[in-house]
Amino acid sequence: MVVCPPMNDATFLQACRREPTAYTPVWLMRQAGRYMPEYRALRERVPFLTLCKTPELAAQVTVQAVERLGVDAAIIFADILLIVEPMGVGLEFSKGDGPVIHRPVRSGADVDGLRDVAPAESVGFVFESVKLARTGLPEHIPLIGFSGAPFTVASYLIEGGSSRNYVETKRFMYSDPGAWRALMERLVRVITAYLNEQIAAGAQAVQLFDSWVGCLSPADYRAFILPHMQTLMRGITPGTPVIHFGVETGGLLELLVEAGGDVIGVDWRLDLDLAWQRIGSQHAVQGNLDPVTLFAPQAEIRRQAERVLRSVAGRPGHIFNLGHGILPQTPVDNVIALVDMVHEMSAKKLPSVAS
């Protein structure tokens, strides 16, 4: 009979606490997604929002990814914009175009017009998904809850969808700092409650996705974002590991650390060992293989994964992940192979690049 370790001794959670582990834990952003044939088959029958709002199905795809890949943590299947739909902004996921906000927030009056949201009442389906996924997962596999960070969520609300230059977001931020502050404060309250409800439902860790924050200068991050992120971090249930992840944040790393989080996510644009030097020894790190590497031959995937592992030389507190999410056309066999490679190579305690 296989005896599973207590949840507190799960390899992923040990790494979050910067404790020594037998091997480097690995999970992958978007590990439940369109690159999986079984997920695509489900999506042919079920629209995306319906999938998110049906706890049995959301839990199913969450657990399915862990079983298929052999990763060390699950992340609940949801979307960072679910929490804004009840605010009355007209959220739609259009095929090929991604999320669309039909009533974008462009003024102080628009901020005032947002509906107050109590996550327990408005998005209770997410917490039910967490409960079902926790029940369906092996006892030793932690479940990660998540939310978009306030800046990224606000940018979607203001831009009305995806953006390349964030003109409307920055225009709003610069031209009406009072309305911007009010929007940030409202989002912080909602996101804090949202994450804490996921923790209460059974999530062992949470991740904040600040996917768009890399568009900001350090000065703007400090002035317009940092105080709100610090308030948010202080409000999360104590004792729960928090992963703070951003994209293209090479110029903001020290500020992300100042904002808070137990684990700092690093994308592939930085060498992980140099990033960790800037982050400091009091934080774990997550990352940071380029997602496009998974389209390469498996020999090259192994070489690149080994490079990442050697760069941190088995230092406690490394969680292997991609620098962003798995891309839709990624070969499933390569994803499975990567997980196996990380487990196998890290168990050998590879020496550092310098040695």
Q: pLDDT value at position 350?
A: 64
Q: Which of 58, 283, 27 is nearest to 141 (CA)?
A: 27
Q: pLDDT value at position 349?
A: 73
148: helix, coil or strand? Answer: strand
Q: What is the DSSP string of 240-254?
A: --EEEEESS-TTTHH
Just list the catalytic residues: 30, 34, 43, 79, 156
CA pair distance 13, 11, nearest whole angstrom: 6
Answer for the pair 184, 228: CB distance below 8 angstroms, yes or no: yes
Q: pLDDT value at position 351?
A: 63
Question: How far is the CA of 21 from the CAs of 39, 214, 347, 348, in angstroms?
Answer: 32, 31, 9, 12
Does the pTM surpass 0.85? The reply is yes
Q: pLDDT value at position 97?
A: 64
Q: pLDDT value at position 1?
A: 37
CA pair distance 132, 201, nearest whole angstrom: 9
Per-residue pLDDT 10s for the chain (355 aa) are 344 556 888 999 999 999 999 999 999 999 999 999 999 999 999 999 999 999 999 999 999 999 999 999 999 999 999 999 999 999 998 776 689 999 999 999 999 999 999 999 999 999 999 999 999 999 999 999 999 999 999 999 999 988 889 999 999 999 999 999 999 999 999 999 999 999 999 999 999 999 999 999 999 999 999 999 999 999 999 999 999 999 999 999 999 999 999 999 999 999 999 999 999 999 999 999 999 999 999 999 999 999 999 999 889 999 999 999 999 999 999 999 999 999 999 998 766 655 4
Q: pLDDT value at position 96?
A: 64
Alpha carbons within 13 angstroms on the beta-carbon side of residue 299 total: 0
User: Hey, what domains does the chain have and what are their CATH numbers?
Assistant: 7-347 (3.20.20.210)
